[in-house]
């Protein structure tokens, strides 16, 4: 009985901890489909401010900020956005891993919320950048 209780307590603790570490802090309408961004890039007009908050900037016109989980990189993004109008179109992406494991997007979304931006999107890369962008033939900075 004691072993069963300890096992159940461990599972509850683990599930609670996982959920607490990875709450979604964006609304579904704040997800930007890769095809929509690819189309905007192809048209070349009304481009959003595009920031990579993961391991590298592989999407054209994006600025590499570095891993969003690191405070110094969030500070770099904060500085880059310092004089940006609060309603500017901003798109952030990571693509290192599935959203439910990604350590980079949530801190960056929280920063955008804290800075009172109103027109930001998260590029919808639910699996990773390779699967959801590169494998679909969307443009990259790599030849």
Assess if residue 122 is contained within a domain.
Answer: yes
Tell the residue number behind the tokens 């590298």, with chain if given: 56
What CA–CA distance (Å, rounded) separates 82 from 31? 23
Residue 27 reports pLDDT greater than 70: yes
Q: Determine, yes or no, domain membership for 126.
A: yes
Domain of residue 62, CATH code = 3.40.250.10
In a domain, 72, yes or no: yes
Answer yes or no: is 7 within a domain.
no
Query: Would residue 82 count as lying in a domain?
Result: yes
Classify 92 as helix, strand or coil. Answer: strand
Within-domain flag for 12: no
Q: Residue 20: inside a domain, yes or no?
A: no
pLDDT at 135 over 60: yes
- pTM of the entire structure? 0.82
pLDDT at 77: 98
Report CA-CA distances (Å) from 8 to 3, 11, 22, 36, 110: 9, 5, 21, 45, 33
Read off the pLDDT of residues 32-80 as tens digits, 9 standing for 90 and up: 999 999 999 999 999 999 999 999 889 999 999 999 999 999 999 999 9
Q: What is the mean pLDDT of residues 8-12?
A: 40
Per-residue model confidence as pLDDT tens digits over 85-119: 999 999 999 999 988 789 999 999 999 999 999 99
Give the count of domains, the chain.
Answer: 1
Quick one: tokens of 136? Answer: 């679909």
- Owning domain of residue 70: 26-136
| 92 occurs within a structural domain | yes
């Amino acid at each position: 009985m004691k072993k069963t209780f300890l096992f159940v307590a461990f599972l509850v603790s683990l599930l609670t901890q996982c959920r607490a570490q990875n709450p979604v802090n964006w609304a579904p309408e704040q997800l930007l489909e890769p095809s929509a961004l690819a189309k905007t890039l192809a048209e070349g007009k009304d481009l959003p401010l595009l920031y990579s908050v993961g391991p590298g900037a592989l999407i054209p016109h994006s600025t590499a900020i570095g891993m969003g989980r690191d405070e110094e990189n969030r500070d770099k993004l904060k500085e880059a956005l310092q004089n940006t109008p609060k309603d500017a179109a901003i798109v952030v992406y990571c693509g290192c891993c599935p959203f439910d494991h990604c350590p980079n997007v949530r801190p960056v979304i929280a920063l955008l919320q804290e800075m009172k931006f109103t027109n930001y999107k998260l590029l919808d890369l639910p699996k990773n950048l390779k699967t959801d962008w590169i494998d679909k033939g969307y443009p990259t900075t790599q030849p």
